[in-house]
Amino acid sequence: MIGEEYRSLEGINQSRLKLILKHPLLYINVKEDEEREFFTFGQFVEDMLLKDEEYLEKVYFITKTPTPTDSVLRVLKLLAEQSNELHLDAIDRDVVIQACVVCEYGKAWKPETCYNKILEAGLDYYFEMKSSEGKVRLSQEDYDMAVKLYNASLANPDILGILKSKDTLFKVPITFEYRGRKCKGEIDILRIDHEAKIARVYDIKTSAQALYFHSTILKYRYDFQVNFYTLGAQLAGLIPEDYDVLDPKFIVLDSKGFVPPTIWNAPPMEDLVDDFEYNGRLYKGIDTAFDYLDFHEKNDVWDYPVEYYEEGSIQWK
């Protein structure tokens, strides 16, 4: 998960910045919690690789009980929010029955029937809900797959070399200034080889399309992300000026467990911040994103993308 240190930092992050390339309203309406493409399973795998056991136990809870039906779940969630009791059968019977009424559970049943069915279906699950408050819940199935991916990653000598290198930094929060604006980020892996005087950013991705990740990179603009991090690592002073900065890479894990963990290259670029063409299509870079942001803020127009204003499609002056 995003660390508290990162959350406390001020600045624009890459996920918000690249939204302005799609539409300015996406940029101004996004909330902090939405600024990161976040999937619990993928984040857990990443944390297994980069964090210690104490952190995992503090943040995650592995569920053993199957999730009940939506109708039962609504009642359990209401009771969990309203009660401090750790055990469902410790809650007053009338309170459980009232929760059933509020949630319209078992409307055709007698109150006693509703009560008994909620206890039968939700006793164990309610206990886990209360025990895991404040933690991220993960199913046993997802946990088992995460362990499989973790072990497969360590079996790859190249990935193992990155993770175990004394020159490798993990989950690195950064702040830097670019074009007069404060920026921030959190780098999964920053490897700095002081002997060879080289440095490289790595980002971990868990994908259901690991075999076709080369197309996923540009579809979701992961290239923008790792270039932003690489630029930030340089401007934040993490990489000495006389070191060669290598093109960033991705450590890609197959969420289904079929494709072995693989290291993929980001699209090669002459400059981290420029637009570039690939297979006949233009991909806008970091500088263009800041150009757009400058335009919208200077003119205080946010309803349409820059091109509509510049081409005269929209009368705005």
pLDDT exceeds 70 at position 305: yes
Average pLDDT for the chain: 92
**Residue 162 belongs to a domain:** yes
* Same domain assignment for residues 30 and 48: no
**Global confidence as pTM:** 0.85
Please write the tens of the pLDDT for every residue from 138-183: 999 999 999 999 999 999 999 999 999 988 999 999 999 999 999 9
Q: Is residue 34 part of a domain?
A: yes
**Strands 244-245 vs 198-207: parallel, antiparallel or unpaired:** parallel
**Beta partners for residue 152, in sequence order:** none
Are 290 and 147 in the same domain? no
Alpha-carbon distance of 243 to 146, in angstroms, equals: 35
Give 201's strand partners: 190
Instruction: Give the pLDDT mean for 91-108.
Output: 96
Whether 312 is covered by a domain: the verdict is: no
Contacts 24+ apart (CB under 8 A), 128-132: 128/61, 128/63, 128/64, 128/65, 129/76, 129/77, 129/80, 130/80, 130/85, 130/86, 131/61, 131/86, 132/61, 132/63
One domain, residues 20 and 164: yes
Is 316 contained in some domain? no
Confidence tier at 317 by pLDDT (50, 70, 90): confident
Residue 56 in this model has a pLDDT that exceeds 90: yes
169, part of any domain: yes
Helix (H) or strand (E) holding 271: none
Q: What is the mean pLDDT of residues 262-289?
A: 91
Report d(CA 111, CA 76) in Å as an integer. Answer: 16
Are 272 and 1 in contact by the 8 Å Cβ rule? The answer is no
Percentage of the chain with pLDDT > 90? 86
Backbone angles phi, psi at 186, to 5 degrees: -135, 110
Q: Are residues 31 and 175 in the same domain?
A: yes
Among 155, 178, 213, the domain-final residue is 155
- Confidence label for 313 from pLDDT (cuts 50, 70 and 90): confident
CA distance 272 to 201: 12
> What is the domain count for the chain?
2
Q: Is the pLDDT of residue 250 over 90?
A: yes
Q: Please say which residue of 126, 155, 184 terminates a domain.
A: 155
Expressed as residue numbers, the domain containing 79 is 40-155
Is residue 172 a part of any domain in this protein? Answer: yes
Distance CA 100, CA 92 (A): 13
Among 155, 181, 210, which residue terminates a domain?
Answer: 155
Q: Write out pLDDT tens, residues 73-84.
A: 999 999 999 999
Give the CATH number for residue 22.
3.90.320.10
Q: Let me know whether 214 and 275 are in one domain.
A: yes
